[in-house]
Amino acid sequence: MMGVAGYPAISRGSENRWRAERLTGARKGAVAAGHPETAKAAAIVLEEGGNAFDAALAAIFAACIAEPVLTSLGGGGFLLAKPLSGEGVIYDFFAHTPKVRRPDGESALFPIIADFGATQQEFHIGMGSIATPGMVAGLFAVHADLGRMPLAKIVEPALALTRDGVLVNRLQAYIFEVVGPIYRSNDTCCRVYASTEHPDRLVCAGDRFRLPGYADTLEALVREGEAVFYRGDMACVLLQDCAENGGHLTLQDMEGYRVAKRRPLSIDFCGARILTNPPPSLGGILIAFGLELLQRAGIGKAAFGSIEHLSLLSSVMDATNRARVESAIHDMKAEDVEATLLSADLLGRYEREVLGAPSMTRGTTHISIIDAEGNAASVTTSNGEGCGYLIPGTGIMMNNMLGEEDINPHGFNRWPTDRRMASMMAPSMVLRPNGGEMVLGSGGSNRIRTAILQVLVNVLAFGMPLDKAVSHPRIHYEGGDLCMEAGFDGGVLRDLCATFPRHRLWQEMNLFFGGVHAVSFDPSSEGFSGVGDARRGGVAVVPGAQ
């Protein structure tokens, strides 16, 4: 667990001390996020009297400059809110497909290769990759429903970052390097994202990054509301550029965008209730499918880290991938997905297959917050990798969601029109019978669901402390390939390599395997705790701690 300058690392205390501090507000809650400045923005808002939802919004505004490849006001996401005295609700403000699809020859879409080192992944960018963005609408919807602090106060930490710039850390520099072809794709991007010390390169560790125009954008949003983005000057420039340069967006898309509020998917696992992202997004339902198979297979009976444990995990990951394809959930109505994927017949068939198996056999960021009052927010946002187009004068990089292979199963420029896009993002919460809470989520494209799955299993099935559950090496099985992080027992690794001839081994923790940022509150013993996943530069802080 890492601390943020100005905020001490989380410590433990007695049962009475934690209970008293939560009630008196000496400690304002707990925050975990993917960058020190993102977490600090949330902490500042909690310190100044905001609730968990105000803090989540402040963190998102700050992340757009602190984690500029991973999120943007030109993208979208999901926020799972659990007020202390109410039911959980998912705010779905993910990208939406345009109402009209231009012919192939008129759509500006071209591939780039992202190089993760041990593996490569192809993405598509250009104006033809931009889906209708939902981030701005989502932030305003959450603020209207649950916010307590004025928006002008919520954006102050992000405004301070735009004035002072953000010191680029090694992870953010590495992310720029991975997707460098996008941010070098045109002169405008080259100017904005160039290193201050080495102008012929993208921003490097140690550079102070500034995002021209972003402060003006924040001030315009506070002054004029979301309309300035969807119907005002920003929209006019964006839509004209789309029309002239191979994009699909029209005024009808921007004006017609609506935030959807949904009931979270609820799962019982190892004595706890898990809330996560429901259909039409896919991450949560696939996590539910995997957890149910693991529970039926008795995952907690295997020795942790043994070949039996990891082989069972691999088999369940494989079964989940194949069930996703077999059930054709991409093509279903949202209301049919849960009944189909979690049906007794489908689960039973894959349960028999898993139990019968041989025993040896994108850009996204997340923020987790619990406040001292018991409100909890789990929010995952994404800009894809960015499409290479900045709305002039705004600092807003637009998304490339229509260029994401993971969420375009029908092929590029074959997406169904006017439909909320599917996503693997799965902001989640764990509610324990004793009143304890855990908030978690991850970035990482297709690895989101397996990263969250493994942390949940580590905590709930094997009783691991939260920090160890997040930092433990992970695996990811997909398409016949087993990806593994180093750190497992040497004999187990050899057995896994022999069992899965198609395998790749990372010698150190890598952002490829997601980044689970999590916080928790245990009323009986530990109080607030949290961990930011080092794979994605994570930090955890307790505002108000001395």
- Which residues belong to the active site? 364
Helix (H) or strand (E) holding 352: helix 344-355
**Sign, Cα dihedral of 279, 282, 287, 290:** positive
Whole-angstrom distance, CA of residue 530 vs CA of residue 469: 11
- Asked if residues 234 and 217 have their Cβ atoms less than 8 Å apart, the reply is yes
Local structure of 172: helix, strand or coil: helix
Whole-angstrom distance, CA of residue 141 vs CA of residue 92: 10
DSSP 467-483: HHHHHS--EEEETTEEE
- Asked if residues 232 and 75 have their Cβ atoms less than 8 Å apart, the reply is no
- Asked if residues 452 and 440 have their Cβ atoms less than 8 Å apart, the reply is yes
Local structure of 408: helix, strand or coil: coil
Backbone angles phi, psi at 483, to 5 degrees: -100, 135
What are the residues facing 276 on neighbouring strands?
Answer: 265
Local structure of 518: helix, strand or coil: strand
CB under 8 Å to 403, separation ≥6 — which residues? Answer: 109, 123, 124, 125, 126, 128, 129, 384, 387, 412
Residue 167, judged by CB atoms within 10 A of its CB (0-12, 13-18, 19+), counts as middle
CA angle 52, 466, 286 (to 5 degrees): 80
Q: Helix 283-296 and helix 307-326: axis angle, to 10°?
A: 130
Write down the residue that tokens 């978690």 correspond to. Answer: 440
Spell out where 228-363 has E strands: 260-262, 265-269, 272-276
CA angle 22, 428, 64 (to 5 degrees): 90
